[in-house]
Amino acid sequence: MSTVKSALAQKGGALIHVRSGDVVIDALRQMRDNRVRSVLVIDDGVLVGIVTQGDCAIKVLLPGLDAKQTPVSQIMTRNPVTVKLDDRLDGCMAMMAERGFRHLPVLDAGKVVGVISIGDVVKDTIRDLELNVGELMGFIMRDGPGG
C-alpha cells in the first residue's frame, strides 16, 4: 500500500483552513465552497484543531447556537491526531477505523501540508487492486498454463 505522500500527490489543491477566532459560518462556507467535509484550524501557521460538518451539526445546530456568532474554537477538536508524509496508508486506515476518524491532518517537519480522508485511502486501495489485477492478467496471458 502507498504512503500519505502519494495520496496527497493524487489530490492536489490548496490547504483549506480557518482560524480559531473565525465563526462557524466561515468554516461551513469553506467546506461548501471547496466541497469538503472538514477544515483545519490553523493559527499563525500552527495546527490547533479540526472542524467537521458533524461538529457543526451536533455542537451548533442541535443546541440552537448561532453559527454566525459561535467561534470555531468553541466546537473544534483540539490537537487532532496527525500523520506524516512517509506514513503508510494502511496504518492510517487502521487508525481511522479504530478511532472513528474520517480526516487526518498531515504534517511535514511540524508544518501542515494537507489532509487525507477515508475517501483518499479507499481510492488508493482501489488503485492498488486495479494494478494487482492488471499484473495478474498479464501473468496469466503471458505465462499462464501451457504458455
Report pLDDT for 145.
59
Residue type (1 letter), 54: G
Report pLDDT for 134.
63
pLDDT in tens, the chain (147 residues): 589 998 998 887 789 999 999 999 999 999 999 999 999 999 999 999 999 999 999 999 999 999 999 999 999 999 999 999 999 999 999 999 999 999 999 999 989 999 999 988 888 878 777 666 666 677 777 766 555
Report pLDDT for 128.
73
Give the DSSP letter of residue 15. P
* CATH number for the segment(s) 4-143: 3.10.580.10
Report pLDDT for 96.
94
**Nearest-angstrom CA–CA distance, 68 and 144:** 65
CB 15 within 8 A of CB 112: yes
Report pLDDT for 33.
96
Cell of 146: 501451457
DSSP string, 81-114: --EETTSBHHHHHHHHHHHT-SEEEEEETTEEEE
Domain map (residue ranges) of the chain:
4-143
Which strands, in side-by-side order, build the sheet including 77-78? Answer: 17-18, 38-43, 46-52, 77-78
Going by C-alpha positions, the residue among 30, 2, 21, 32 that lies closest to residue 132 is 2
CB 38 within 8 A of CB 56: no
Report pLDDT for 60.
97
